[in-house]
Amino acid sequence: MSLITGCASGTSSGGSTTPPMTGAVTPTVTVTASPSGSISTAQALSVAVAVASSAGAPAGSVVLSSGNYGSFPFLVSGGQAVVSVPAGLLAVGTDTLTANFTPANTASYTSAAGTTNVTVLASGAATPVVTASSVTYSTSGYGSPFRALPLASGNVLVSVSASTSGMLVFGPATGGGLQLSCFNYVRPQFVQDGASTFGMNLTPNGQGLAATLGVDGAIFYNLSTLQTCTSTGLQVSQGAVSADEGSFDVVMSPDGKYAFVANAYGVAPGATAEGNVGVVALQYDSSGIVSAGTLVGEISTGGQTIAGVAISPDGSRLYATSEVEGSFTNATGEAIPS
């Protein structure tokens, strides 16, 4: 793993944030537990969530949480949702149950939350054994899944590669769980046989999403239109197609001014080993969506086949992972460890 310091220094034009939303209604979220009052650790709990507003009952999804417990997103239909909490998942004592509502129409409604308390008493019965389980969701032949990213809306994005590639959108299903909503196909700008979609992360302002496309470099989406599969995205090359940069992952500085792209096979100027980090300067439109991106340079990391990147919360350090062990691991400008 390579460590690159000072990655968020410098200035750039643009970098505006989304203006505050006006005219949206904040609904009231009412949470009712049954049984009310107290339960034992051997009892399940049914929680009714009602969402109402002066403009009617908004559609959307709700997630119930308390301590270490968190539910699947549940659809809100007719202003109602019911969440079942299995026995033994709530901590002994007074638990605050919080229902976080995310509207389907963010132009008309804002997110909202409601709470209620329930007292959980230790049961004399043996402590139940909770067995982990998994649910498999098919990508329906759209391609090979690479990474999943859950969103505050309750949707889950899944990047897929192969000849038919792009971004799958899974939404909350009735009764809990997920269902395939739609597919946002990537129309490659540089490669004719389809671009592979790999790593992805949200922009710091939460309005967009950045992803990588292998040979085609990076792509920046409007998150709202991406979730309805109507986004074409802004593609930013990491070099000539013949160089086969192999962009695998992308992360942004906390201020959103720069994107750092892990290029597995690209050779930075002056370097000999494959694997570099591309630095893209970003500009935003008035709504906070990336409108332009310029590759301003590539960093030689000292590693080979760079597959992943992560940035420290203060933006002062960038971490990169290498799939192939090199003879040395110092970044450009750094001393070789003795």
Residue 199's nearest CA partner among 306, 329, 275 is 306
Sign of CA dihedral 213, 215, 218, 222: negative
The Cα–Cα gap between 216 and 58 comes to 40
Q: In 10 A of CB 7, how many CB atoms?
A: 22
The Cα–Cα gap between 15 and 205 comes to 10
pLDDT in tens, the chain (338 residues): 555 545 444 444 444 343 444 578 999 999 999 998 899 988 999 999 999 999 889 999 999 999 989 888 899 989 999 999 999 899 999 999 999 999 988 889 999 999 999 999 987 755 556 666 678 888 888 878 889 999 988 899 999 887 667 899 999 988 888 999 999 988 665 544 455 788 999 999 999 999 998 888 899 999 999 999 999 899 998 877 656 788 899 999 999 999 999 998 888 777 777 888 999 999 999 999 999 999 999 888 877 788 899 988 878 889 988 887 655 555 555 554 44
> How is residue 271 written in tokens?
């370097």
Architecture of domain 28-121: Sandwich (2.60)
Domains of the chain: which residue ranges?
2-18+142-324, 28-121
> How is residue 159 written in tokens?
């990047």
Torsion of CA 281, 287, 288, 290, to 10 degrees: -40
Q: Are 304 and 323 in contact (CB under 8 A)?
A: yes
- Say which CATH class 2-18+142-324 falls into: mainly beta
